[in-house]
Amino acid sequence: MIVKILGTGAIYSKRNCASLIIDKKILFDIGPGTIKQLLKENYNLKEINTILISHLHSDHILDFPTLIVNLEVLNINHKVRVIGPVNMKEKLLKLLELMYGNYFDNFINKNFEFIEVKENNYDILCNNYKINMLKVNHEGIEAYGFIINDKLGLTGDSSICDGVKKIFSNSKIIVADCSLIKGDNYHIGFNNIEKLLKENKGKIVIATHLRDDTRELLAAKKLKNFKIVEDGYYFDV
């Protein structure tokens, strides 16, 4: 799988919000900056057939209406699956309605399928990609991390929890929330990642959801297999 990092920033960062795309088809989170970055990189938005949503905070979903406007202009004629937590469909469609009334109702009904997950551990096969969705702990809000094809781990926003530990042990490369130097109830910190890398030899972590001040502090830390990258970075897994 080729993974393109579209955003590495937290909500306070000057960088795009944390988001990535797998093989030009599977989008993971869709916060501010996601669509502009895809267009900047000459991606064809028509190729997107799956959208994974970690949770319903603004920095992870606000580009949804922007995507819909683009896809309608491109006249897509395939189903796009959106997979995420309960109440996702209602929230995303409310966003769209606030901005465009009912203009996109028919387009959404024809081209979108929403799958809302309640389980702690949910598996789905999507166009030959094995997607494992695990509940993680983002204080007070339903949140999920993902393992794609038993290789790529995505923590989403989470504090250290069983779901995150499983994502580390069952993936080769992990794109991990590293909002803080010292983790709290909302976010993983560098201290948590240091420990997870010690417990899971040979794994590679790509830090994301970084505040700009955290990024500067992290740049001084030297830890094997821990990478800080910029928006637009890509890798093969």
DSSP string, 113-128: EEEEE-SSEEEEEETT
94-102, 105-113, 150-158, 166-174 -> range binding Zn ion (CB under 5 A): 150-158
Contact 173, 203 (CB under 8 A): yes
Contacts with Zn ion in 52-71 (CB under 5 A)? 57, 59
Separation CA 162–CA 15 (nearest Å): 29
For Zn ion, the closer of residues 57 and 215 by Cβ is 57
State in angstroms the smallest separation of the CB of 229 from Zn ion: 17
For Zn ion, the closer of residues 19 and 132 by Cβ is 19
Rule CB under 5 A: choose which of 68, 157, 187, 211 binds Zn ion: 157
For Zn ion, the closer of residues 59 and 63 by Cβ is 59
Q: Phi and psi dihedrals of 135, rounded to 5? A: -70, 135
**Residue 151 per-residue DSSP state:** T
70-78, 89-97, 156-164, 192-200 -> range binding Zn ion (CB under 5 A): 156-164
For Zn ion, the closer of residues 168 and 186 by Cβ is 186
Separation CA 10–CA 214 (nearest Å): 10
- Count, residues near Zn ion per rule CB under 5 A: 3
Contacts with Zn ion in 181-220 (CB under 5 A)? none
State in angstroms the smallest separation of the CB of 182 from Zn ion: 18
Contact 95, 67 (CB under 8 A): no
Separation CA 197–CA 202 (nearest Å): 8
Task: Work out whether 15 is an interface residue with Zn ion (CB under 5 A).
Answer: no
> 122: burial class by Cβ within 10 Å (0-12, 13-18, 19+)?
middle
What does the binding site for Zn ion look like in residue numbers (CB under 5 A)?
57, 59, 157
